[in-house]
Chain A
């Protein structure tokens, strides 16, 4: 079992939809939880960062961490075609461990 499992894709939604992206993990020592977004032919960029359990909101994006269930989620409200990208969850105690990523396509 890999330390970080991410829902496989790809995922295609219509513009305006609410998107839910999820990851589970096995290492209870993880304390820092991140979501990266990677556009085609680009490197990943940090989208959201949370420490420990709870929710964090940034505009249309909400990151949620449930340490008791070892489960993290990223919600995208009112999705836009510009949100089309690969989303990677990542978490760390010291070294970052990434999920494999899910490719999201938002149809106009």
Chain B
């Protein structure tokens, strides 16, 4: 069973540019969550999509947006990049809505997209 695939794995952008990151969840998983990971703040929740609808959103500015397609693949976009947006962006998929866990509902993370903003 293929895991969560994130592309691109590494990218370098300059301030003011925008970036789009892609996530393909595990086949059959309908929930996709996005997290930002930095050494200073750790893992911070960005948003979650389930069946093409945003269900939950973290405390990030409107420059961060996302969407989910009918095949459950998801993209996130960051516009007007700032130096502080440099981070590892992680996507996670699960079979059920909501990021709480039962024994059957496990968040599976991708390897992440490492964004560097110069």
Which A residues have a C-beta under 8 Å from some C-beta of B? 31-32, 34, 41-46, 49, 88, 90, 92-101
Contacts and interface: CB of A to CB of B under 8 A. Distances in A.
Given A98-B43, A100-B41, A44 B109 contact: yes
Given A42-B111, A43-B112, A44-B90, A94 B99 contact: yes
Given A44-B90, A46-B106, A94 B98 contact: yes
A96 B103 contact: no
Nearest to B91: A43
Given A43-B110, A46-B106, A95 B43 contact: no
15 contacts: A31-B100, A32-B101, A42-B111, A43-B92, A46-B106, A90-B43, A92-B99, A92-B100, A94-B100, A96-B101, A96-B107, A98-B42, A98-B44, A99-B42, A101-B42
Interface string B33-56: 001000001111100100000001
B60 to A, nearest CB: 13
Contacts, number: 58
Contact of A96 (B4, B99, B108, B110): B99
B90 A88 contact: no
A102 to B, nearest CB: 11
Given A43-B90, A43-B92, A46-B107, A92 B112 contact: no
